[in-house]
Chains A and B, each alone.
Chain A
Amino acid sequence: MDEAIKKKINELIEKNDVCLFMKGTPDAPQCGFSLAVSNVLKHLNVNFKGINVLEDNEIREGIKMFSDWPTIPQLYIKKEFIGGCDIVKEMFEKKELQTKLSEKKISYKN
């Protein structure tokens, strides 16, 4: 993939401990799946950065290659790809997401 886009994505996930590539913004998600992940993070009071891929087509297409994952949203925690909507929801329900946040030393509230 394009090195410049790769660098841009790397910078985003380095700068933001919890980084959600999504359609729309955390305040106004533009897709049900992005809404769901955003709501899980809000519910846990996690401080996260939403990257609106609808505003940047290079990132929208680039993140799919970067993660080898064809859909949006995509959640990164401390540079680790966690998954898309189904995985994040399932991890939340099984408390695995909370465990992951603790392991990564990200503060949250139950």
Chain B
Amino acid sequence: MSIKQVELEKLIKQSIPDAEVTIKDLAGDENHYSATIKSKIFNGKSKIEQHKIVYKSLKNKMGNELHALSINTEEV
């Protein structure tokens, strides 16, 4: 039940190519991360829609390999 930080970043960038991604491993256990993601794709969308885009980029990893991810999305 863990995922490498680089893999996480890769997954997000695959789905959101223009994303500026900053990831922190909060507990140093490859299981609790926070991610700040800036992208044009979020422009004009609700926070719920923005977070759903991020969750979708992670395929089914959220709640499985990845236990906790705090998400902060920003419009550009």
Partners in one complex: yes
A residues near B, CB below 8 A?
32-33, 64, 68-71, 81, 83-87, 90-91
Query: Are the CB atoms of B72 and A86 closer together than 8 Å?
Result: yes
B18 to chain A, nearest CB (A): 21
For the complex formed, measure the closest distance between the CB of A110 and the CB atoms of chain B, giving whole angstroms: 22
A-B contact count (CB 8 A): 33
Number of interface residues of B (CB under 8 A): 13
- Could you give 16 example pairs across A and B, Cβ below 8 Å? A32-B68, A33-B70, A68-B52, A69-B52, A70-B62, A70-B63, A71-B62, A71-B63, A71-B69, A83-B47, A86-B70, A86-B72, A87-B48, A90-B47, A90-B72, A91-B47
Q: Which residues of the partner chain A approach B62 to less than 8 Å between Cβ atoms?
A: 70-71
| B residues adjacent to A (C-beta < 8 A) | 47-48, 51-52, 55, 60, 62-63, 68-72
Q: In the complex, how many angstroms separate the beta carbon of A68 from the nearest chain B beta carbon?
A: 7
* Residue ID in chain B nearest A88 by CB atoms: B47
Residues of the B chain whose Cβ atoms lie less than 8 Å from the Cβ of A87: 47-48, 51
Residues of chain A with a CB closer than 8 A to B69's CB:
71
A64-B63, A70-B63, A71-B63 known; A86+B71 contact, CB < 8 A: yes
Q: Which residues of A contact B51 (CB under 8 A)?
A: 69, 83-84, 86-87
